[in-house]
Amino acid sequence: MDSEISQAAESVGNEIIAVSNFLFSHPELGDHEVEGSAYLVKLLVKSGFRVCYPYQGLPTAFRAEYGNPSGTKATFLAEYDALPGYGPKKLPAHACGHNWIAASAVGAALILSRMKELSGGCVVVIGTPAEETAGRKIDLLKAGAFDDIDVVFQMHLAETTSLDTTALAIDPWMFEFFGKASHAAAFPFKGINALDAVNLTFAGIGALRQQLRPDVRIHGIVSDGGETPNIIPSRAVCKFYVRAADRGYLDEVSLKVKNCAKGASLMTGARVKISRFENSFDDLRINSELRELMKESLIRCGIDDFSTGTHITGSTDIGNVSRCVPTFYGNIGVGDGTAGTHEEAFLKFVNSEEAHDKLLKVAKAFALSVREIFRNPERLNKVRTEFEKAEKRQ
Ligand SMILES: [Zn+2]
Ligand SMILES: [Zn+2]
């Protein structure tokens, strides 16, 4: 292990662990990460970073920079939103381990800020709110937050360690049906049943499943099913997440799913309004040059338990980032395999001694990789060449 990085990590180790502890004990939902973002910003300002907060009109987003503003920009993405509904009181909690993500991102940046010199490079941390819901990386991308960024790094906790992480493209569809209320016993024939349209949408999608590729995932809920059984529902709403391994095929599947809702509308006479209730995400584009660089760094920092085979984790807004900037995204395994992300039982793993140990190792590995990119322009050229080739294949 490199002694300069080790010493720097030692000097900021307590602060890195403190980030994970603070966020874990102050879980806040997406777009409401007020205390969490303020904590991270305060720490970065204290450490000499130039900070913009709030950032791009998002109250809990921020951007922090250290080093040469016109140099190569290596960026760590911090997420810090929690999930709802844990414990007897159904409170927010970090069952996805975003406390750890923020700590590893900010931690790596702090380590690099303690280096004697950064070879003309610039370390950037972007605080990206609401990964679990709205996906604010998409809004930040649209606002140009990534236009000047050269490479992006992020890792996520999971059941196993994997550098072959994939993420499905996702479309969030809301189908809102408008019918006509009537007395359900006396005059049902005067009504138009919006809930029937919801049920028929589910039935249509159920029949569609067999004709779709195995990587497709379609899962829905009824978020409004009427008021009471003795009134024919005049309004009913269902929401679906539709996912596939690539954006091209997802576009085809989304069209078919929307046709199910349109068919249900035609069958019942209930008007349908179709909209996206959150941002759509693209699938993750892997940059194998960045992945190899991170693999070397992780091994040097003591992490080498890489599982083989493709590891699907769901969907994430970093997918869209990976289409615009060369991106490394991987998983770090914690726990004993008895629970996975989003499960209540996973909470005991995300801020454990094991999580802290791996947190410091990953922060060091990020720092090693970025220092290599700053010192060795040939390495960055290879990353860019691969990215541009993938871009042409699209
Ligand atoms: Zn999650
Ligand atoms: Zn997550």
Instruction: Reduce the DSSP state of residue 65 to 3 states and report it.
Output: strand
CA 333 to chain centre: 17
- Backbone phi, then psi, for 359, in 5-degree steps? -60, -50
pTM: 0.91
- pLDDT band with cut points at 50, 70 and 90 for residue 72: very high
CA of 105 to the centre of ligand 1 (A): 17
Give the chain's radius of gyration (CA, Å).
23
CA of 98 to the centre of ligand 2 (A): 6
In tens, the pLDDT along 358-387 reads: 999 999 999 999 999 999 999 999 999 999
First-to-last alpha carbon distance for the chain, in angstroms, is 39
CA of 377 to the centre of ligand 1 (A): 35
CA of 82 to the centre of ligand 1 (A): 8
Which residues have a beta carbon within 5 Å of ligand 1, which is an ion?
Answer: 96
In tens, the pLDDT along 297-341 reads: 999 999 999 998 766 678 999 999 999 999 999 999 999 999 999
The per-residue pLDDT of the chain, averaged, comes to 96
Domains of the chain in start order, with CATH, are 3-167+282-393 (3.40.630.10), 169-276 (3.30.70.360)
- pLDDT band with cut points at 50, 70 and 90 for residue 165: confident
